[in-house]
Structure 1
Amino acid sequence: MRDFATSDHPGVQTQLNRLAALSLPQGRYGLETIEAICARLGHPERRLPPVFHVAGTNGKGSTCAFLRAMLEAQGYTVHSATKPHLVRYNERIRVAGRLIDDAALAAVLAEVLDAAEDLGPSFFEVTTAALFLAFSRTAADACVIEVGLGGRLDATNVIPAPLVCAVASLGLDHEAFLLRPEEGTPAEPIARIAFEKASIAKPGVPLVTQTYAAGAVTAVLETAARHGAPVHLRGRDWWCETAADHFILRDDQGEVALPLPTLPGSHQIDNAALAVTMLRRQSAVPVTPAAMAAGIRAARWPARLQRLGAGPLTALAPGRAVWLDGGHNPDAGLAIARHFAGRQVHLIIGMLANKDPAALVVPLEPMLASIAVVPAPGHDAHRPEDFAAHSALPVLPCRDVASALAALPDDGREVLIAGSLYLAGEVLRLNREIPD
């Protein structure tokens, strides 16, 4: 599976092969294994620079990108951990501002895998322990760490005392894991999701949130209270208003006016505002409004409404704007639809079979000029008829993205390639836009 990637570096590939052989035993939930691994490694999670910890369904990766860019604009050295990788596993671990190099990656993965061999660790537990080791051994001013799945039982949740925690937007995704029956958890699905995400809260550590549906807000507040975390809820404790060329953030510290993000999509204003509010809720790593503005302009986040540059794939669609987005759930579909509102776009979609085929097609339907369906590399994917059930348009099956681009009518309309981060990674690789 492409989760584990491949590498041109023999040492890295050896460790990636070991990672690929791991499996998570069915029914094993909890933090006991990652805690045991960290103990064997001397508890690197306790020796990290100040941590900004971000959970959420959508937007957490972009929030992390804004955080890193603003901190770096202030002149700080920043470690960051985001997921998943798109092309190279190295993308998951950025040490002091740069992707971890192959030699260091091979060494740290080998160290963790050797230490944890008899514990039956998962891919994610090994990855998390590896980034803890890498971050604990190199000096930096701050760490920006994205939660992988959920929050309560995510391996990153062994970080004992982050500087600030946050929960980005909430929606239904990964239901088999996050909504599995468990006594003492909320019954309403969105409230259960909120409970899982907000459970990264720590005693005395600010928890910054967006605004949510009533049941989710209640779950966030109750969860934070159980953990002893002060909550900073959008719409109650902080506010964000958008103008023509800037947005204004207001909280108990006053107002600050900041530029609109360079990242496309109105939802990126929400993510930038969440990141700014996180910075304003702490004083250990101060960031000026000027650095916040510079970081908001500089932030980049691949495969999220990314306009592709010149390359072998886009050469097949000359004169068109070709967009790439890895979003695959209903909230992502709504965000993408807002971006293309009032325009016509050709959709090339490849989506994992365990995702909802209506998630993107339904909100985009009024803007769609055509639909072409391609495989999701290395995974079981939805068939053309799965999408046809949710659209009045004919659905064209194509063997790959290149074929779908070549089959487009000569109308100059924009193109959106979407539906899976696995597909997005393949597109970036083929267009020679490798994330760095």
Structure 2
Amino acid sequence: MTQASSDVILERMMALHPKIIDLTLDRVWRLLDALGNPQNDLPPVIHVAGTNGKGSTLAMIRAGLEASGQTVHAYTSPHLARFHERIRVAGNLISEDDLTAVLDECYTANDGGNITYFEITTCAALLAFARTPADYTLLEVGLGGRLDATNVVAKPVMTAITPVSIDHQQFLGDTLAKIAFEKAGILKRGVPCVVARQDGDALEVIEEVAARVGAPLQAYGQHWHVGPERDGLVYQDELGLLDLPRPNLPGDHQISNAGTALAVLRALGLEATAWEAAVSQAEWPARMQRLKTGPLVDAAGGAELWLDGGHNPAAGEALAAHLVSLPKRPTYLICGMLNTKDIGGYLRPLTRVAEGLVAVSIPGEANTLPADETAAAARDSGFAAETADSVQAALAAILGREPSARVLICGSLYLAGAILRENG
């Protein structure tokens, strides 16, 4: 098999439904039934929803489980460089042969029916997981929770909800309470749910749903606490107090994500090896990632080059807080965003920490916000902003003014993926 094999099938799958996002479970249930309902044969499932921090939290949970000797399936989205990143089977990225086989099987079983790309590829992941032994399956919600294609497991062993904030309003609702209701749709009767620190409105809705369905909560501030402590973090719950290193994923917001992961691992009965690995061994690209090698880094010379895929107001706040914590250095942004995002809400916190911004369009992305519109929104937010035809041209413009700058490429996971592919 060649790499083109899975690419060809994935391209065909893009044409099976006119809408990229269309939240309902009817099509998923139909295909799963045609496949023999693989969702009923998964290793114990940990299901993670939320607006920010899902991927980082899942990465920490996986690091903890694997360090304690467990084998783990993991499903995440979107991918950055290759689709295979979404499906990790018993610890390894799915092979090209196995990916091609399950995609082809799902495409055939679907028999031309309407189904979105995310729905049919989620079914392919579940099929791969059901056929390979493992100790746990980690499922990251794609969008929302209640009607997300991952929400097909009747009885997970554990669920978790990371911080909920305003995003995807056109699909999930225009208030924090409505969005939290959709996230809380992953709660199941009798299944414990770890809840990260939440805004009061979001927590109230999650608690209401949990009471109605009979899901016991382990909530931040009530059942567990986490916070920074000198060069590390302190976590405390009814089992005791832990002094641990700061997460190796950069940013103060990762302390909150680590707390959620630790609460899950401790609820599962895992011990010190898992706790320490969760904070010290997790890896998750394009989350305030320092680029250290590759053509872009070579072109940057003496400048620092960073990459982040965050794209909503909460992500902007987290990025600004982390940039403030770094040694002082002139900071510039290269920003590209989708046309569905709150660009002003994302950028406003960053005006406090960056001298300027160069806007780009996301290469190969139909829903990119044009660079000139990104630049206009950046100026409205208080930035000195200009446009460039590419990230390389943007970098050259910044370095022409400030050769030793700190440059953050940001605004979208799709832009981050393009950079990781181009930079090797």
Same fold? TM cut 0.5: yes
- Secondary structure of 1:130 counterpart: helix
Give the alignment partner of residue 334 of structure 2, picking from 345, 348, 354: 348
Residue pair 1:346, 1:369 contacting (<8 A) in 2 also: yes
Structure 1 residues 183-226: Cα deviation after superposition (integer angstroms, max 9, x where no partner): xxxxxx11111111011001100011012222211100011112
- Secondary structure of 1:258 counterpart: strand
Report the counterpart of residue 388 of structure 2 in structure 1. Answer: 398
Partner amino acid for 2:37? H
Report the counterpart of residue 183 of structure 1 in structure 2. Answer: none
Give the alignment partner of residue 30 of structure 1, picking from 24, 27, 32: 24
Residue pair 2:190, 2:215 contacting (<8 A) in 1 also: yes
Report the counterpart of residue 223 of structure 2 in structure 1. Answer: 237
Partner amino acid for 1:361? L
Report the counterpart of residue 184 of structure 1 in structure 2. Answer: none
Q: Does residue 428 in structure 1 map to residue 401 in structure 2? A: no
Partner amino acid for 1:381? L
Moved more, 351-360 or 139-148: 351-360
User: How far apart are the structure 2 equivalents of 1:333 and 1:101?
Assistant: 35
Residue pair 2:371, 2:388 contacting (<8 A) in 1 also: no
Report the counterpart of residue 369 of structure 2 in structure 1. Answer: 381
User: How far apart are the structure 1 equivalents of 2:77 and 2:19?
Assistant: 22
Report the counterpart of residue 167 of structure 1 in structure 2. Answer: 161
The CA deviation at 1:26 is 9.5
Give the alignment partner of residue 90 of structure 2, picking from 86, 96, 104: 96
The CA deviation at 1:25 is 5.4
Residue pair 1:362, 1:390 contacting (<8 A) in 2 also: no
Report the counterpart of residue 310 of structure 2 in structure 1. Answer: 327
Moved more, 250-259 or 167-176: 250-259
Residue identity (%): 44
Q: Does residue 14 in structure 1 map to residue 8 in structure 2? A: yes
Give the alignment's TM-score, normalised by structure 1.
Answer: 0.92
Partner amino acid for 2:234? I
Report the counterpart of residue 305 of structure 1 in structure 2. Answer: 288
Residue pair 2:47, 2:156 contacting (<8 A) in 1 also: yes
Moved more, 358-367 or 386-395: 386-395
Gap change, CA 1:224 and 1:397, over 3 Å in 2? same
The count of corresponding residues between Structure 1 and Structure 2 is: 415
Report the counterpart of residue 273 of structure 1 in structure 2. Answer: 259
Gap change, CA 1:325 and 1:8, over 3 Å in 2? farther
- Secondary structure of 2:201 counterpart: helix
Moved more, 324-333 or 22-31: 22-31
Q: Please give the residue correspondences for 1:125-136 in structure 2 after superposition, counting only pairs within 5 Å.
A: 125-136=119-130
User: How far apart are the structure 2 equivalents of 1:38 and 1:234?
Assistant: 35
Moved more, 245-254 or 34-43: 245-254
Structure 1 residues 274-301: Cα deviation after superposition (integer angstroms, max 9, x where no partner): 0110112234xxx221232023211110
Q: Does residue 418 in structure 1 map to residue 405 in structure 2? A: no
User: How far apart are the structure 2 equivalents of 1:138 and 1:275?
Assistant: 25
Structure 1 residues 288-323: Cα deviation after superposition (integer angstroms, max 9, x where no partner): 212320232111101110001211011111112211
Gap change, CA 1:28 and 1:82, over 3 Å in 2? closer
User: How far apart are the structure 2 equivalents of 1:165 and 1:136?
Assistant: 19
Structure 1 residues 20-71: Cα deviation after superposition (integer angstroms, max 9, x where no partner): 2122559964212111211111111111111111000000000010011111
User: How far apart are the structure 2 equivalents of 1:145 and 1:203?
Assistant: 18
Partner amino acid for 1:415? V
Partner amino acid for 2:103? L
- Secondary structure of 1:199 counterpart: helix
Moved more, 421-430 or 314-323: 314-323
Where structure 2 has 5 or more consecutive residues not aligned to the other structure, the ranges are none
Give the alignment's TM-score, normalised by structure 2.
Answer: 0.94
Moved more, 235-244 or 87-96: 235-244
